[in-house]
Amino acid sequence: MDNNLLYLNLAIDKNDTSLGFASSWIIEISKIYSRVDVVTLRLGKIPDLPKNVNIYGPVSSKNKFKKYIYLYKEIKNLTKAYNYSRCFSHMSAISIFVTSRLLKKNKIKSTLWFTHPGPSFGLKKFILFSAYKFSDNIVTASKTSFPFISNKVNIIGHAIDTKNFKNIKNQYKILNFLILSRISKSKNIELSIDAFLNSNFKDKNLDIIGGPLNSNDKDYFNFLISKYRQYENINFLGKIGHSKLPTLINNYDICFNSAGDGFFDKSILETLSCGILNFYHNRDFDDIYGPYAERFYFDNETDLTNKINTLSLMTSKDTETFFHEIEEKLNSHSLDTLANRLKPFF
């Protein structure tokens, strides 16, 4: 069989804060295939990609139904023209759901990467469950980042570009605070902001990088801006292109992530890789933090405030030691090892 891969994903856009990293996955995976055909649901600014990678996407349309029709027709044409040894869907359960009949007809095995607690009810949950049942195997980042328990679910960690997200600090300070996250109610961003405002560091600047993805997110974004408008040191910077993030976030010292179980956010790994101390709310990160887990994990707003206050007791040498001790764990989530971690499922 030809060594070709059919690759499905949500977006190709290097300027997207949340999804801009997707192209780095394509580049790594393309190293183990002769041809990679990427069918995406949204085309933005396309980065430079290897010659064996081909991108297919719909003309800009806000109509989701039209996008799914495009997806189906494009894959139908591609499966007529080429033989694929595997279909890999990156965070796009809907793509597997829409094209499952075509994949089955052409005897193409499928792997779904999904790292999210998933919808709790309704059509979206049905779509995810259907994609999960159809897929030959599932790969995810942590033990709580896929909502269904099964032998076909495999934990392989994240894929962080540690060549760009790297620690260049020669001194550790407590000056600039950061939240790096999609703006969504599920990310519990208020908890971090309120805890910060009740801490001994409330006069420092807190910047929030990230933007909304859908209408519900936009409503929440507007709510947050309105709620914290009176605070001159709380700054919503909006979306920043993912390729620009490494340079930008190196200006920060402390980061907060209030997303709970199921949200094994790569932003925590990216900020840690840049030498930024990160307080977290998801126990899946305990393995990375090791003996430092109880110092940086927080259970609620008051707990986070108290732990922020302990930063004044942490010396630059303490911080240097912390990053040295977690380095090996961080490297296990490196983009460089992604292809090898995925090979057993391809």
The residue whose two tokens read 């090791």 is 290
Q: In the prediction, which pLDDT does 61 show? A: 65
Residue 290, classified by CB atoms within 10 Å of its CB into exposed (0-12), middle (13-18) or buried (19+), is exposed
pLDDT at 305: 98
Domains 4-155 and 176-331 share a fold: yes
Query: Given this model, what pLDDT does residue 222 score?
Result: 95
Beta-carbon-side half-sphere exposure of residue 197 (alpha carbons within 13 Å): 15
For the segment 86-105, the average pLDDT, to the nearest whole number, is 95
- pLDDT digits over 311-345, tens only? 999 999 999 999 999 999 999 999 988 888 998 88
- Burial letters 293-307, b for 16+ CB under 10 A, else e: eebbbbeebeebbeb
**Which tokens hold the place of 246?**
């490494």
pTM: 0.90
Q: Assign domain 176-331 to its CATH superfamily.
A: Glycogen Phosphorylase B; (3.40.50.2000)
Looking at domain 4-155, its CATH class is: alpha beta
What is the phi/psi pair of residue 111, to 5°? Answer: -125, 130
d(C-alpha 21, C-alpha 269), whole Å: 13
Q: What is the pLDDT of residues 20-65, one digit of tens each?
A: 888 999 999 999 999 999 999 998 888 899 999 999 998 666 788 8
pLDDT, position 65: 85
> 220 near 212, Cβ under 8 Å?
yes
Is a pLDDT exceeding 60 seen at residue 1? Answer: no
Q: How far apart are CA 35 and CA 22, in angstroms?
A: 17
Map residue 242 onto helix, strand or coil. helix
> Which residue ranges make up each domain of the chain?
4-155, 176-331
